Amino acid sequence: MLSRRSFIIGGAGLASAFLLKPSDAGKPHGEYFSKINTVLKQHKIDVPVLVIDLDRLDHNIDKVVGSVNRLPKKVYRIVTKSVPSPELVKYIADRAETNALMVFHRPFLQEMSKIMPKSDILLGKPMPISAVEKFYKEHSGEFQPEQQLQWLIDTNERLNQYLQFAKNKNLVLQVNLELDVGLHRGGFEANEQLRKALSLIESNPKHLVFSGFMGYDAHLMGIPSFLVDSELVKVKERYASCLSMLNNDFSSLVHDKLCFNGAGSPTFRYYQASEMINEISAGSCLMKPSHYDLPVLEDFLESAYIASPVLKRLEGGNLPAFEWTGPIIRKWDVNQSQTYFGYSGNWLADVESPKGLVPHFAYTSSNQQGYNASNGVNLQVDDFIFLRPQQSEAVLLQFGDLIMVRGSQIESNWSILTV
């Protein structure tokens, strides 16, 4: 006989189960993605593509420009790895009225020096000496490295390598010294190693020209928000200490064209009133992938999406080898009422539209990614699933030409930089 206690416990369990039963999360595409879905289908797009909204991109460029134009004004240096398309870089440069680029890849350096021969380029990471050798061996054209290119140096060992190369080839290299302002990913601090580097540059003026400092503070993005203000003070103090050593002990290296670069997409606004640096670098904030959903960038708009064609739509759907569980699962969770398979998948990206479309754990695939959804998601075969990248640099290189959309029209296709 069922006891009163068992009845109460059982009733409570049923009530809890009812309360925990998933509600229907599925919705069709909203107006914005419906328009892009329609225009992609009209243009017979049949493979996954990376779509960039030019109106949203313009909004984001203007936000960066508005920040760097606040007094004291700064140079805006475009981070090419985050927007790795020649036409896209040129578009940003024209709207932002800048010719300053930051490049992280030797093939990109070679390509951008030809495409934008008037640009001023700062390497964003130190290059192996073999990359320097290859660049000078293959370089030709209007771009003049001795005036327009700054090589990034992180150690005295690398500086000596570059010096020896410059002597052997009778070249003059501009060198910018990477500072460790708290990220602890290498670079100089205000100590004897920095003093040695500045001394070596000072004593070799025929082959080395000091072009400035670069201090990257990306760790501010990853620490708890309550620590950011205090850590930012330390970041600026570390940079200022290096500047102090330069100005006090190596005044012969100081001139009015020095590049004091700092910040990045998540931090450039922290330097709006600062006179310590004279330029900031940013790129990812223009695309605003999901890793940049930060309070400091809340007025920026997501401008880049992956569009993946729907290849298959199945009512219900069953787990391989566990087909008997299908009706039970669907009865419990209406969000598993149907299964979709998209073209390719398993990107560093999350479903943005339609809402309620969730990757299927049993069908994680770079060939045909599976998704579950309720009947509220009314996608049909040949419609598009839209995913928002988590970051920009690697993702934008995976799809060939970028599809540039303005309003509800495709304006152009832009190539990507050669890897």
**Under DSSP, is residue 315 helix (H, G, I), strand (E, B) or coil?**
strand
CATH of 26-50+302-414, one of 1.10.3470, 3.40.50, 2.40.37, 2.60.40: 2.40.37
**CB neighbours of 345 closer than 8 A, spacing ≥ 6?**
308, 359, 364, 365, 366, 367, 368, 369
The one-letter amino acid at 400: G
| CA distance to 18, 221, 327, 334, per residue, from 331 (Å) | 12, 43, 6, 7
Q: Are strands 409-414 and 402-406 parallel, antiparallel or unpaired?
A: antiparallel
For 54-288, CATH gives: 3.20.20.10
List the chain pLDDT tens, one digit each, 419 residues: 434 554 344 444 434 444 578 898 889 999 999 999 999 999 999 999 999 999 999 999 999 999 999 999 999 999 999 999 999 999 999 999 999 999 999 999 999 999 999 999 999 999 999 999 999 999 999 999 999 999 999 999 999 999 999 999 999 999 999 999 999 999 999 999 999 999 999 999 999 999 999 999 988 888 888 888 999 999 999 999 999 999 999 999 999 999 999 999 999 999 999 999 999 999 999 999 999 999 999 999 999 999 999 999 998 777 776 666 667 666 668 878 899 999 999 999 999 999 999 999 888 999 999 999 999 999 999 999 999 999 998 899 999 999 999 998 999 999 999 87
Nearest to 280 by CA among 263, 266, 295: 263
Can you give the residue ranges of every domain in the chain?
A: 26-50+302-414, 54-288
Cis, bond preceding 354 (omega within 30 deg of 0)? yes
**CB neighbours of 336 closer than 8 A, spacing ≥ 6?**
317, 329, 330, 372, 373, 374
